[in-house]
A and B are shown apart, each in its own frame.
Chain A
């Protein structure tokens, strides 16, 4: 095993796949991707790291045409928000390409898109939108949280024969973790238990796993509460057995999604759990996510907009009938020390 950052794990995945398969190439309007493609262009040249005009719509169509004719493109967007210019291609064209051919076409393409956060990113640099794409049959949407999953899931996505959208939270880029030295892949649709616990189950996506981990430590220290945390890793809800087993034990569940709640993935997850664990639930399932406004720029408003570990602690205390503990000695995650903007 070795310790590596999320950003470098992505780079390793892409570099190794490009070495192994000459049909893999990277394409996008900006191909530095916050260091997650460091050195790739130097190693493979401009013909395999293609910088395009500012034409997200046409580039996404190009990627689809390339994928169905023998190439394995990786399209990159430095913000999910920019990917919206290509929604026609993603939702009308890519999602139905294999199905409309009765399974005869292969469409091996990966679209990577970064979710911005902090230092005033504002309402057009901060969306996640995994729930929007989760609704469309024919697309797989992944949201790796750890470096190990970032590398393993991106490798799986590049090798798969269908379209995958990878939503990457910018704050995760600095997270470090262990990954195997040898070649490995991680399934695109298997949630993982990050922490065991018998008092409360938290089902989280992307960055909210980091917040949930801090919350679980606080709850353990202050109340002796043991929280189970499950990282959903993708928007696929077909492998939730372990989560159901956990909720059947705890009887209490919070869904913490890095997205808006209204008509979102958190509602779908909550319904899915409720339907399968109805008789074990002590309380209605709770949800935590973005406030239902466009993301503001000013720091004070931004802090209210985003849910954090303290929100999870307070929600958990409510559900467990506990008095609010003091949070004064705890610090929330912040990347202020290393990230002063502007992007």
Chain B
């Protein structure tokens, strides 16, 4: 399958936007202007960008608390992204949602939830709307591998299969639930076997570039159209940072060092050094931007074109971040806005 140049640029731009936006966050998080718990996406950028590029414009999207990749790849709106992280009224959700819940209903990114597996059944309802109202074709939901341990995952797999709903289950598997490995929480050996037992088509990749994941997503899409059944895309990736926060597992970041004077600052929420440093170093060479850059180059995108993209994105990030920081904060009267 040949990837069009426009798609290649979109994929590269999406990954680069997420990577560079998160680098901006890391640089400024310690300044304490972004008062929101952040589950950084660093590592899943290729996975999310590949799936979104394939399904965007004809799908409803749902995600979980690691929202940055999904929000930016669906909306490409860095200004509202940074404004939301700063709790400003100009943010994607007017400052109500923060990092864990930012959405964009106008772009059909409907709900991101901090409760593991809780948006999975929502995707079934949106898929039902697709069938009944023809207002979209697919309903795509992202979740971590820990979600498979929740009961509602199995209820949703059963119902989507039974009701033949056009749901795309996307499992972003970093092999960790906070800092707990699969062996300590999973009595099953194969996600594939679980998925297939629900008569659901299974697709898989590990540490792939967005271009490859785009191709897998296109195959999955064709399967839904042909067989009118849900599909499951299992994407393994390496999570570069801690479960929450902007530092890695091995050393204290500037943020943590600055916060450590506060006793209850969240320092020590998860263990340190629970992963192999050698493995971390191995993945450092394969960082998300390198992954997509290599692949895009092989597929025909020129180095100069990619460099120019990066320059443009960095400039835009600086402009949007500064603008968001200066934006208006919510007022007391805003507390009841949007309450039913």
Contact = CB atoms under 8 A, between A and B. Distances in A.
Interface of A: 23, 25, 47, 50, 52-53, 55, 57-71, 73, 88-89, 92-93, 97-105, 107, 137-140, 161-163
A107 B111 CA distance: 12
Contact of A62 (B96, B133, B159): B159
Given A58-B152, A58-B155, A98-B338, 7 more contacts: A58-B156, A59-B159, A62-B125, A63-B125, A68-B110, A93-B113, A97-B111
A53 B158 contact: yes
B108 to A, nearest CB: 8
Interface residues of B, number: 44
Given A58-B121, A62-B124, A99 B159 contact: no
A100 B339 contact: no
Contacts, number: 146
B258 to A, nearest CB: 30
Contacts of B115: 88, 92-93
A92 B150 CA distance: 16
Interface in B133-165: 133, 135-136, 139, 151-152, 155-156, 158-159, 162-163
A119 B152 CA distance: 33
Nearest to B92: A102
Contact of A66 (B105, B128, B151, B159): B128
B181 to A, nearest CB: 26
B107 to A, nearest CB: 11
Given A58-B124, A58-B159, A89 B118 contact: yes
B321 interface: no
Contacts of A66: 125-126, 128-129
B79 to A, nearest CB: 16
B55 to A, nearest CB: 15
Nearest to A60: B121
A93 B96 CA distance: 15
B46 interface: no
B123 interface: yes
B62 interface: yes
Interface in B26-74: 60, 62
20 contacts: A55-B155, A57-B121, A57-B151, A61-B119, A61-B122, A62-B124, A62-B159, A64-B125, A65-B124, A67-B125, A68-B110, A70-B135, A73-B125, A93-B111, A99-B340, A101-B103, A101-B338, A102-B93, A102-B337, A105-B105
